Structure 1
């Protein structure tokens, strides 16, 4: 099969899905605006694809067999490369319109159908935060794409997030009712009649992948996979509820994002070096800071629901300051990693700048930090872009 036919298959599926979702989800008069936005988004993605594909191909990070492509290029990027951003930008906005439209059409607290709520619960905007560490860890270690990389990346992209956030939304339902930020990209309000199906869906979609990844590796992988899965469940399920144990809540949340990278390193058979340990420690501190800062905005609804967290115990002001210090230490730690790792120290700066204005926030004004938390969600994409550039540099230096 040539790349052209593979690309056309993706585009065809995306067009069908995009048209269907947009038709079902668009409100009156929104269709034209939707497709205009899709066109603008694709134009931006096309420029980025042309630039960065050309850079990576020019650095000989990968190449295409001439017999499998048309030969038409933009810069050094084959025309076929533009199929994937096109497929994504056509299908995904329509899917989001459909999901959010169903919520806005009188079904805000009574959505029927497990799949739409499951997708919302899984926080699609944050999928990349767990898939990226796994894929990067494996790819930079093995320097090849194999079935384990593909399966693992898909698992940590969707099923893993479905379990992590879906289980949380089930057991947090009572407190989420009092939380005004729930019901959108920051979490779904899963209706009680869907709680049990959601838990079963999490099990069914996760266990097969966990078994495959475990069998693909050795004892180290078994341990990494086990810790990762345990952290996902222990954070939310009744009887454990690590999210209600101050400090342990931040430790467990950080494990959610660092463990995919550890699983990838274990599967790849990476050598454990001081530099690697420092990098993982910095990543872990970043995760703790992120969780602690995110907990500040929920102080009031958590206290009303009787839920303890690092923020409800030490207070908004101290939690914000702790987050700033953790991000600072994480950035400084990167300075001790092998080149080009020290370049990543700069990534801590925007997080500190986003958090620092709330240095003197009080418990009564803690909800205001939600503005910074929403910025934090999008900061992760910018950070991922910078990390990717550093990874490309690392790849070229060790090739």
Structure 2
């Protein structure tokens, strides 16, 4: 089968699914707005595809059999490569609209409703933040695609996030009721009848992966997986509630994002070097800064619910300033890594710029930082772009 036939089949299925889901999920009058957004998203993805594919092809990381492609290219990227972002950008927004649409009372009691709410609770927009560190750490160490890499990447992409955020949404229900941000991109507002099923679903989708990954590694992998799983549970569950213990809350939250990279390094048998430690320290400080800044916007609902956090204890202004300092140190830590790692210091700049305008924020105006937090979510994708370029440069130098 040629790439063109495969691409056409893929696109056709995506278009059919995307149109159906969009029609079922969108509200009246949203049609033009939806497809305009799809067009803009594809334009951005097409540019990224052209840049990344051309860079990787130029470095000889992969090639295409000329007899299986049309020969039309954008840069060095075959036109067929653009079918995959097109299929994704057509199908996935429609699927999201369908999953988050309003449902009647009878449907809310169904199993489908649980699964759709579980998907919403898992924060799909943030899946890449945990899967990428694992995949990058393991691939750069082993330089080969193995079943452990594929399995671990999938685990840290979906099941891990379902547990991390789903458990949090269950035990944060009372405070989430007072938080207008809940119920969309920043998490589900789970009705009480879904709390127990959500916890069972989180366990059922995580334990098998943890067992298999543990069996695939040695003591270092066992320890890192145990720390990772404990941090996910301890952050939210009653009796531990690390998220209500100032400073420990930011430390635990950062562990959520750094531990996948540590697990990947452990499974790959990486050798610990000063440069690698500097990289992990920088990543960990970045995670602490992200959590601290994110906690600022929730000062009011957290205090109303009696929930403590680093922001409720030291106040909005000091927390914002702490986040800026942590991001600055994280960037400086990258300067201690082997080339091209120091280029990563640039990544701290947009986060500092995004956070700095709130340098003098007060507790009463802390809710306004949500605008910067929403930008932060999308800044992660821009950072991922830069990290991937560094990743490619590192790979090409070692090849």
- For 1:286 and 1:106, locate their aligned partners in 2 and report how far apart those are by CA, in whole Å: 42
Q: Which residue of 2 aligns with 1:55?
A: 55
Aligned residues between the structures: 395
Q: Which moved more, 1:86-95 or 1:47-56?
A: 47-56
Q: Secondary structure at the match of 1:101?
A: coil
- For 1:147 and 1:221, locate their aligned partners in 2 and report how far apart those are by CA, in whole Å: 16
Q: Which residue of 2 aligns with 1:84?
A: 84
Following superposition, the deviation at residue 245 of structure 1 comes to 0.8
Q: Secondary structure at the match of 2:100?
A: helix
Q: Which residue of 2 aligns with 1:213?
A: 213
- For 2:267 and 2:89, locate their aligned partners in 1 and report how far apart those are by CA, in whole Å: 32
Following superposition, the deviation at residue 46 of structure 1 comes to 2.3
Gaps of 5+ in 1: none
- For 1:316 and 1:188, locate their aligned partners in 2 and report how far apart those are by CA, in whole Å: 25
- For 1:98 and 1:260, locate their aligned partners in 2 and report how far apart those are by CA, in whole Å: 31
Q: Secondary structure at the match of 2:380?
A: helix
- For 1:192 and 1:342, locate their aligned partners in 2 and report how far apart those are by CA, in whole Å: 48
Q: Which residue of 1 aligns with 2:226?
A: 226
- For 2:372 and 2:32, locate their aligned partners in 1 and report how far apart those are by CA, in whole Å: 32
Q: Which residue of 2 aligns with 1:173?
A: 173
- For 2:41 and 2:312, locate their aligned partners in 1 and report how far apart those are by CA, in whole Å: 41
- For 1:337 and 1:111, locate their aligned partners in 2 and report how far apart those are by CA, in whole Å: 52
Q: Report the TM-score, using the length of structure 1 for normalisation.
A: 0.93
Matches of residues 306-385 of structure 1 in structure 2 within 5 Å? 306-385=306-385
Is 1:20 matched with 2:31? no
Q: Report the TM-score, using the length of structure 2 for normalisation.
A: 0.93
Post-superposition Cα deviations, 1:70-90, rounded to whole Å, max 9, x if no partner, equal: 555433223432232122111
Following superposition, the deviation at residue 185 of structure 1 comes to 0.8
**Cα gap change, 1:215 to 1:8, in 2 (>3 Å):** farther
Q: Which moved more, 1:12-21 or 1:165-174?
A: 12-21
Gaps of 5+ in 2: none
Q: Which residue of 2 aligns with 1:246?
A: 246
- For 2:359 and 2:33, locate their aligned partners in 1 and report how far apart those are by CA, in whole Å: 41
Following superposition, the deviation at residue 228 of structure 1 comes to 0.7
CA RMSD, 1 decimal: 2.0
**Cα gap change, 1:144 to 1:255, in 2 (>3 Å):** same
Answer yes or no: is the 8 Å Cα contact 1:111–1:117 preserved in 2.
Answer: no
Q: Which moved more, 1:263-272 or 1:44-53?
A: 44-53
- For 1:336 and 1:59, locate their aligned partners in 2 and report how far apart those are by CA, in whole Å: 26
- For 1:163 and 1:90, locate their aligned partners in 2 and report how far apart those are by CA, in whole Å: 28
